[in-house]
Amino acid sequence: MNKEFLTILEQLEREKGLEKNVLLEAVKHALTVAAKKIAKITSASEDVKVEIDPAKGDIHVYIGDKEVVSKEFGRIAAQTARQVIIQKIREAEKDNVYAEFKKKEGDIVGGVVYRIEKRAVILDLLGKAEGIIPYSFLSPMDNFRLGERVKAFVYEVKKDKGTQIILSRRHEGLVKKLFELEVPEIFEGVVEMRSIAREAGERTKIAVVSKDDKVDCVGACVGMRGSRVKNIIEELRGEKIDIVRFSEDIKEFITASLAPAVISRIELDREAKRARVLVASDQLSLAIGKRGQNVRLASKLVGWEIDVRSREAIEEEVNDILQLKNIGKKLAAILVDAGYTSLSKISRVSAEELSKLKGIGEKKAAKIIEEAKKFLEQKATPPKEKEKTELPETGSGTKGGE
């Protein structure tokens, strides 16, 4: 019987991944409860002790110094032990699952689409647990089928009526971890990902740098004939990926982040972390991107506010402002740099706000604003039409000529 008991414990240890000492503690607890029932012990001061030999499986139960030997004890002990062991096994399994996946927060896991619900997709995580991807955490490109294999980012693991594993396909960490899997140089730390900007389902930009001059960071991420990045794009269901070379020189970094647009000039406000990028008019739409996506992702990647303008537009803005009295090119440039790029904007600002700019006092600011308002009023008023005067008819047809 004792050998059978040990065999059962060893089987549970193998199949459920539970430690033997955890199971022995569960049996001890069960036998302690059974002994108290038999002896009708109600006081907490009475000592009940259970000893189990882990090598032989021999079990001894003592109340005080007296060993309990009873057929009733054996029956109740077996029943209680079975129930407690089942309960302990369930608790231990839950704890094991929680501990295993809690360590994986911020990493990625693979699973199979097990169930598709109204508000979430449920993944079977290798038979160990279920992972939940809420619809708000799915990429717009995700359209799963039952049984499909999927990789997801472990967003959060929490204990809420059991272990809840929240997964995400939208998080930028998914792209980062996929690159670590596909690019050995990133995994080994030779190539470092400095920053990442993602709009799930559409486009991701990553900035990489090599710690070894012999290793091309961009080439390593792309792979032979694009094989490495292609695998990541397939996992992301066709999401576009731009791999940008990181540079400590902010102008170089901004230029790379806005590729393939050709940049004419970059003006920096280092204190405010703001950059104004000038491009030719035929490069403007390329630099800004569809619905402003390219410049928006570039700003996030670099960590600076990026304002893209065409050279022609800037010249027009400066020319408009130059039409005001007492404003030269230098002052017009200061106004444009500060964001007052049109007469309309200047007319709406307060004199106090405008006077904060270098070289503009409060009186001068008030004059500039007043002139801008007058100029706009004149521009809006249509020129008066000249009054048409009818000339009297003359000629031989008149009565006076008869």
Please state the pTM of the whole predicted model.
Answer: 0.66
User: Does some domain include residue 314?
Assistant: no
Residue 200 has pLDDT above 60, yes or no: yes
Instruction: Identify the pLDDT of residue 366.
Output: 87
CA–CA distance, 397 with 402 (Å, rounded to integer)? 8
Calculate the alpha carbon distances from 12 to 18, 148, 258 in Å.
7, 32, 59
One domain for residues 29 and 63? yes
User: Does some domain include residue 34?
Assistant: yes
Residue 390 has pLDDT above 60, yes or no: no
Q: State mean pLDDT over 263-267.
A: 87
User: Does some domain include residue 393?
Assistant: no
Instruction: Identify the pLDDT of residue 378.
Output: 78
**What's the CATH code of the domain at 112?**
2.40.50.140
Q: Looking at 73-77, 354-358, 375-379, which range is the least confident one?
A: 73-77
User: Does some domain include residue 385?
Assistant: no
Domain boundary among 304, 332, 353: 304
One domain for residues 80 and 153? no
Residues facing 109 on adjacent strands:
152
One domain for residues 34 and 90? yes
Q: Looking at 44-58, 177-191, 312-326, 388-402, which range is the least confident one?
A: 388-402
Residue 394 has pLDDT above 60, yes or no: no
CB 76 within 8 A of CB 37: yes
One domain for residues 156 and 201? no
Cα–Cα–Cα angle for 152, 156, 160, rounded to 5 degrees: 125
Number of structural domains (the chain) is 5
User: Does some domain include residue 297?
Assistant: yes
Side chain identity, residue 188: E
What is the percent of the chain with per-residue pLDDT over 70, rounded to a whole number?
A: 83
All residues at 6 or more sequence positions from 328 whose CB lies less than 8 Å from its CB, including other chains: 322
User: Does some domain include residue 392?
Assistant: no
**What's the CATH code of the domain at 281?**
3.30.300.20
Residue 368 has pLDDT above 90, yes or no: no
Instruction: Identify the pLDDT of residue 387.
Output: 46
One domain for residues 92 and 177? no
One domain for residues 85 and 15? yes
Indicate the pLDDT class of residue 265, thresholds 50, 70 and 90: confident
One domain for residues 9 and 89? yes
Q: Looking at 94-98, 240-244, 398-402, which range is the least confident one?
A: 398-402
What average pLDDT does the chain have? Answer: 83
CA–CA distance, 185 with 223 (Å, rounded to integer)? 11
Name the percent of the chain in helix, strand, coil, to the closest 5. Answer: 45, 20, 30
CA–CA distance, 236 with 200 (Å, rounded to integer)? 9
> Which secondary-structure segment (H or E) carries 63?
strand 59-63
CA–CA distance, 116 with 134 (Å, rounded to integer)? 10
Half-sphere exposure for 278 (CA within 13 Å, toward CB):
12
What would the pLDDT profile of 107-141 be if each residue is shown by its tens digit? 999 999 999 998 999 999 988 889 999 999 999 99
More confident residue, 390 or 32: 32
One domain for residues 156 and 175? no
Instruction: Identify the pLDDT of residue 355.
Output: 85
Instruction: Identify the pLDDT of residue 10.
Output: 75
One domain for residues 185 and 218? yes
Half-sphere exposure for 198 (CA within 13 Å, toward CB):
18
Residue 293 has pLDDT above 70, yes or no: yes
Q: State mean pLDDT over 297-304.
A: 96
One domain for residues 70 and 27? yes
**What's the CATH code of the domain at 333?**
1.10.150.20
One domain for residues 7 and 78? yes
User: Does some domain include residue 310?
Assistant: no
One domain for residues 58 and 6? yes
All residues at 6 or more sequence positions from 228 whose CB lies less than 8 Å from its CB, including other chains: 182, 183, 220, 221, 222
What would the pLDDT profile of 163-190 be if each residue is shown by its tens digit? 899 999 999 999 999 999 999 999 999 9
Give the residue numbers spanning the domain of 145: 108-170
